[in-house]
Structure 1
């Protein structure tokens, strides 16, 4: 079997050609950077009060670094399990759906949020 058709095009169509590559522990670049920023912020929230209480100012940086390491480690495991067998855009649609449901003023997404059974009523044309 030849890989080219008569007009010079390929017989197969690559499936994951335009999707983002997985770069770390099942996370794409966007997911990794988002997780990293949120984890560093959480580490700073813990590190700054600890530094103020103990007068050890290196705890600010240590908290941020520890938050980043723990956040990336935990998020890579959790998101890999959540994304398994789902489309590439599943995580983003779930975040969009959470915004629409919990903070409707912030979201301009037009998602279908109706729950319940769908029916299709057909009428006979005479």
Structure 2
């Protein structure tokens, strides 16, 4: 994707696809919902003895995650850039001790630095 400098910034952002989410966010929500519903579907299938409950529950959970996750994502991103959510998630994971990728460690500590100028510089400054 090419960014054109003279066009307003909002035209270079990814389009909203569904419920205030971009295409990438829809896919992430669907994958999260499917992964969450898969073990639940396995338990339900084991209890009822119907193997078809595994994909049924997994896809129903993915749909619910997309539907309700859109509202949550819209509230989280309100007034912020499209990359804020990913950067914030990356920072929270790095702060918890889970850096993503090799060489992608973020600075998670802060300190006050002092330049130790106890006496004035030559020249009167």
Shorter-chain TM-score bucket reads 0.7 to 0.9
The yes-or-no answer on 1:113 pairing with 2:108 is: yes
Alignment RMSD = 2.5
Runs of 4+ residues deviating >2 angstroms: 103-116, 118-121, 123-126
State the Cα distance separating 1:84 from its structure 2 match. Answer: 0.2
State the Cα distance separating 1:114 from its structure 2 match. Answer: 3.2
Structure 2 residue runs of 5 or longer lacking an equivalent are: 1-5
d(CA) in 2 for partners of 1:33 and 1:50?
25
State the Cα distance separating 1:13 from its structure 2 match. Answer: 3.9
Report how many aligned residue pairs link the two structures: 114
TM-score (norm 1): 0.75
d(CA) in 1 for partners of 2:113 and 2:19?
42
SS in structure 2 opposite 1:87? coil
d(CA) in 2 for partners of 1:105 and 1:93?
12
Structure 1 residue runs of 5 or longer lacking an equivalent are: 1-11
